[in-house]
């Protein structure tokens, strides 16, 4: 380490458009917090976000350097950054912090660690992934029993953003003293200001309004949500004029839109918003009656659930991955088994009935949810605990030399 005690961190992540997902927002807020504490950060990421086609320009400042790398292919949404090994060998850092074991950079770092000769910190943002394709699932399973284990072994410290993930790793043989639980940031600041016209347009009227926010990919369970919404309408579980609002983009958008167009029961009852600004998203959160998360796999803390809780909205969610933490911590909401269409449809009916009959109960429960979440999250605590983890990783690494 340097004599002036200024810590240097190399930060690796797949993409860095902080408006597209929870991982990206976490890296953004963490980087910003580290810089405020005088830590020098070199961020290495893909040059382009495939969801928005936004490009990341290179940047060089006093405490922040951004190195965007090109890639030709991104199997399973994992950009293969061919120049990453060379870049890693040239970055001057005290510790390397890589985000998610499914990221190609985690594997590269673990295999080249002896050559690079620096401690490695891994944050796990994604629980077990499931796909709609046998071969993709086979590749994922093989990866988990081979590459993932190598990554876990090479890591000097592993940060989990949920306790559920920590328990799973311990059960798979990861030493408990290697694990550190540090939750994700509460990132609702960008939604404080909202578009009043959008809010007014959506809020007015007596429709039961359901909001989905997320990428339009298989693991998010949009096909399950459409089937459940269709059943809820068909069986009069919810009013016929109910509205499902879908915010986000992804490879399934065309297929989902086509499904809606071909189903007369869904036409006029589903709105695809695509990618929206923070002010519009803030308006949609405030105007909706319930937020829904029908994911099949891959959820950890779920940024969407955090936003729903902080904006005092009831939620319906699949009980998958790190979502278990919300249930174990006593957060009130509607929890359903992942992939259970009927249970999801019936939860929509339960939410509607409760909203119609007991607004006082709803207001009390959503306020309790918000107060509980604020007590368990602190940006400063997250940043300081991460810095402490860096020093622990450095000490452990050199103690073994």
Tokens 């809820």 sit at which residue? 232
What average pLDDT is seen over the chain?
Answer: 90
User: Distance (Å, rounded) from C-alpha 134 to C-alpha 328?
Assistant: 32
Question: What is the sign, positive or negative, of the torsion defined by CA atoms of 32, 37, 38, 40?
Answer: negative
Q: Is a pLDDT exceeding 90 seen at residue 384?
A: yes
If you average pLDDT over residues 387-393, what whole number do you get?
A: 97
> Which residues are paired to 209 by β-bridges?
243
Q: How confident is the model at residue 319 (pLDDT cuts 50, 70, 90)?
A: very high
Say which CATH class 189-376 falls into: alpha beta
The pLDDT score that the predictor gives to residue 102 is: 87
Q: Look at residue 3 in the predicted model and tell me its pLDDT.
A: 42
CATH 3.40.50.2000 domain span(s) along the chain: 8-185+377-399, 189-376
Mean pLDDT of 202-214: 92
- Other Cβ atoms less than 10 A from the Cβ of 151: the count is 26
Contacts of residue 374, defined as CB under 8 A and 6 or more positions apart, other chains included, come to 186, 310
Given CATH 3.40.50.2000, say whether it is the number of domain 8-185+377-399: yes
**Whole-number Å distance between alpha carbons of 290 and 283:** 13
Residue 308's Cβ-count burial label (10 Å; 0-12, 13-18, 19+) is buried
Confidence category of residue 72, pLDDT binned at 50, 70, 90: confident
Q: Which residue has the higher pLDDT, 292 or 104?
A: 292
pLDDT at 298: 74
At 288, the pLDDT band (50, 70, 90 cuts) reads very high
Number of continuous H segments (helices) and E segments (strands) in the chain: 15, 14
Query: How many residues are there in the chain?
Result: 401
Confidence check: pLDDT of 139 > 80:
no
pLDDT band per the 50, 70, 90 thresholds, residue 12: very high
Averaged pLDDT for residues 199-218? 92
pLDDT computed for residue 78 by the predictor: 83
Query: What is the arithmetic mean of pLDDT over 90-109?
Result: 93
More confident residue, 89 or 334: 334
Higher-confidence residue of 30 and 321: namely 30
- Among the residue ranges 3-7, 193-197, 347-351, the one predicted with the least confidence is 3-7
Longest alpha-carbon distance in the chain: 70
Asked whether residue 4 carries a pLDDT value surpassing 80, the answer given is: no
- pLDDT digit string, tens, across residues 159-180: 998 888 888 899 888 999 999 9
Q: Is the pLDDT of residue 274 over 70?
A: yes
Distance, in Å, from the CA atom of 203 to the CA atom of 85, rounded to the nearest integer, reads 51
Assess whether pLDDT exceeds 70 at residue 2: no
Confidence of residue 74 (pLDDT cuts 50, 70, 90): confident
| Across 314-318, average pLDDT | 97
């Amino acid at each position: 380490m340097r004599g002036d005690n200024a810590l240097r961190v190399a930060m690796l992540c797949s993409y860095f458009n902080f408006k597209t997902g929870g991982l990206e927002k976490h890296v953004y807020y963490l980087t910003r917090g580290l810089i405020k504490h005088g830590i020098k950060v070199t961020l290495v990421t893909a040059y382009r976000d495939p969801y928005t086609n936004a490009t990341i320009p290179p940047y060089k400042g006093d405490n922040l350097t951004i190195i965007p790398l090109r890639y030709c292919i991104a199997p399973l949404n994992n950009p293969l950054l061919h120049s990453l090994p060379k870049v890693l060998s040239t970055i001057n850092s005290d510790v390397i912090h890589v985000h998610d074991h499914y990221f190609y950079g985690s594997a590269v770092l673990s295999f080249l660690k002896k050559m690079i000769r620096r401690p490695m910190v891994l944050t796990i943002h994604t629980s077990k992934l499931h796909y709609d394709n046998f071969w993709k699932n086979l590749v994922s399973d093989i990866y988990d029993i081979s590459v993932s284990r190598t990554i876990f072994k090479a890591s000097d410290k592993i940060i989990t953003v949920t306790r559920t993930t920590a328990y799973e790793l311990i059960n798979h043989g990861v030493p408990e003293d290697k694990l550190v639980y540090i939750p994700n940031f509460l990132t609702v600041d960008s939604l404080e200001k909202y578009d009043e016209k959008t809010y007014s347009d959506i809020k007015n009227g007596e429709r039961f309004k359901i909001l989905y926010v997320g990428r339009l990919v298989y693991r998010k369970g949009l096909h399950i949500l459409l089937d459940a919404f269709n059943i809820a309408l068909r069986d009069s579980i919810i009013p016929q004029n109910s509205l499902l609002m879908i915010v986000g983009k992804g490879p399934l958008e065309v297929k989902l839109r086509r499904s809606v167009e071909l189903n007369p029961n869904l036409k006029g009852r589903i709105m695809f918003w695509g990618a929206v600004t923070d002010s519009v998203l803030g308006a949609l959160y405030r105007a909706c009656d319930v937020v829904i998360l029908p994911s099949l796999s891959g959820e950890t803390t779920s940024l969407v659930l955090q936003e729903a809780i902080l904006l005092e909205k009831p939620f319906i969610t699949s009980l998958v991955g790190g979502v278990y933490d919300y249930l174990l911590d006593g957060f009130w909401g509607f929890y359903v088994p992942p992939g259970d269409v009927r249970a999801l449809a019936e939860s929509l009916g339960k939410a509607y009935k409760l909203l119609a009959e007991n607004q006082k109960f709803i207001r009390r429960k959503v306020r309790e949810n918000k107060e509980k979440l604020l007590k368990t999250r602190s940006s400063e605590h997250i940043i300081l605990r991460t810095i402490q983890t860096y020093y622990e990783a450095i000490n452990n690494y050199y103690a073994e030399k």
